Structure 1
Amino acid sequence: MRVYPKFILSATDAAHFPAPSAPEIAFLGRSNVGKSSLINALLGSKQAHVSSTPGRTRAINFFSITDKPERQQAQMIFADLPGYGYAKISKSISAEWPKFINPYLAERPTLALCICLVDSTIPPQPSDIQLIEYLQSRERSLLVIGTKADRLSGNERVKAMNLLRKGLNVDGLLFCSAKTGAGMSELWQTIQSAASEK
């Protein structure tokens, strides 16, 4: 699918969020899980900054997505949230996450889908479990993406998928690889479906 992304702004405070308009897709994950790589693979461009230093993103970065370059109005908006995992996540998400994350996830009216990225090559992490439980408690639509799936053989993939489903207590789980493109068309379908329902 060909899309035309455009960077809108970086928000470091709830007051900086763009006015709610198009359906928003939020990307969340532990630092170094491959979030920026996945967003760039989806968009077909280097919009999200890929850093070798985990935890670099300290703001929510908003991107407008359209299907035609001349279209001014965003059809959907991607929100790239800061990575977590360096400090223990508390019940209110995390002391180390900036304070504006909670209001975004809890109150944003245009938030259509939360895409939670987890590393498919390791068991479910406590911080991932807490984040998913938090989103479920807020009745947010979510999809769990297992990243780095290209590093697993067919048999390992089945085992990892079962382990993550059980450990994270989710049904919606998709393995993707930014490197090979595996799972990307299914992910786009889920995003479009969530956006059209909002």
Structure 2
Amino acid sequence: MRLNPVFLLSATDVSHFPSEAKTYGAPEVAFLGRSNVGKSSLINSLLGSKQAHTSSTPGRTRAINFFALHEGAGAKMKVKPTLIFADLPGYGYAKISKSISAEWPQFIEPYIADRETLALCVCLVDTNIPPQANDHQLITYLKQTQRPFLVVGTKADRLSNNVLAKNMAALKREHEIDEILPVSAKTDSGTKALWQRLMAVAE
């Protein structure tokens, strides 16, 4: 089933989050990860459009961007979205000014901790680099708050099968998780499997 994305809004404060009246209480999927992990590229690959803004400068996304995914198109688009995507700012990029980094927890932590319609957190980790401490902090936080989450390994197309398997094993071991779904926004590898998991949330 093809879903058509509609940009809802950008939120830089809890008061900006879309109301249930605006989203019709549709389940939300949050995409989280380090700056430059390929988050916006993956979202665009899933949506088949350039909805999420990609940048070669890490840390460009400084708001939570919400997209409503609808069945149908144009006038035939269903009123209630099937899913809401929430594209969260990347973390772990040191060159961003301290003032901006300090503002992030004020609206990101309440979103993850308190958002009732948040059904799944998709945690993106880069399969090309060693396990990162701030990824581990996020995954541990989601376990502690009992938020459903799925860890997705990005940029999987850049590695041979042997190296990918070795890196994935290291990521699972370090982050103490049983599953990582490898994907590539460039080749679309793994995106079908990811869609199946997202649609399970919608149902």
How high is the TM-score relative to the length of structure 1? Answer: 0.92
Structure 1 window deviating more from structure 2 (143-152 vs 67-76): it is 67-76
SS in 2 for 1:73: coil
Letter in 2 for 1:48: A
For structure 2, list consecutive stretches of 5 or more residues without a partner in the other structure: 95-100
Q: Given the alignment of the two structures, is residue 112 of structure 1 paired with residue 116 of structure 2, yes or no? A: no
Shift of 1:96: 5.9
Counterpart pick for 2:185 among 178, 181, 185: 178
- Distance, in Å, in 1 between the alignment partners of 2:34 and 2:161 is 25
Deviation string 1:14-66 (CA, Å, 9 cap, x unpaired) is 01101131000000000000000000000000000001111011110000001
Shift of 1:149: 0.3
Is the 1:84–1:97 contact (alpha carbons within 8 Å) kept by the matching residues of 2? no
Q: Given the alignment of the two structures, is residue 48 of structure 1 paired with residue 55 of structure 2, yes or no? A: no
Q: Given the alignment of the two structures, is residue 17 of structure 1 paired with residue 17 of structure 2, yes or no? A: yes
SS in 2 for 1:171: coil
For structure 1, list consecutive stretches of 5 or more residues without a partner in the other structure: 88-93
- Distance, in Å, in 2 between the alignment partners of 1:14 and 1:172 is 32
Q: Given the alignment of the two structures, is residue 3 of structure 1 paired with residue 10 of structure 2, yes or no? A: no
Superposition misfits of 4+ residues, deviation over 3 angstroms: none
- Distance, in Å, in 2 between the alignment partners of 1:42 and 1:81 is 16
Q: Given the alignment of the two structures, is residue 187 of structure 1 paired with residue 194 of structure 2, yes or no? A: yes
Is the 2:58–2:93 contact (alpha carbons within 8 Å) kept by the matching residues of 1? no
- Distance, in Å, in 1 between the alignment partners of 2:170 and 2:133 is 14
Q: What is the aligned-residue RMSD (CA, Å)?
A: 1.2
Is the 2:38–2:154 contact (alpha carbons within 8 Å) kept by the matching residues of 1? yes
Letter in 2 for 1:13: D
- Distance, in Å, in 2 between the alignment partners of 1:104 and 1:177 is 27
Shift of 1:71: 1.7
Counterpart pick for 1:28 among 23, 29, 32: 32
Aligned to 2:98: none
Aligned pairs, number: 190
Letter in 2 for 1:125: Q
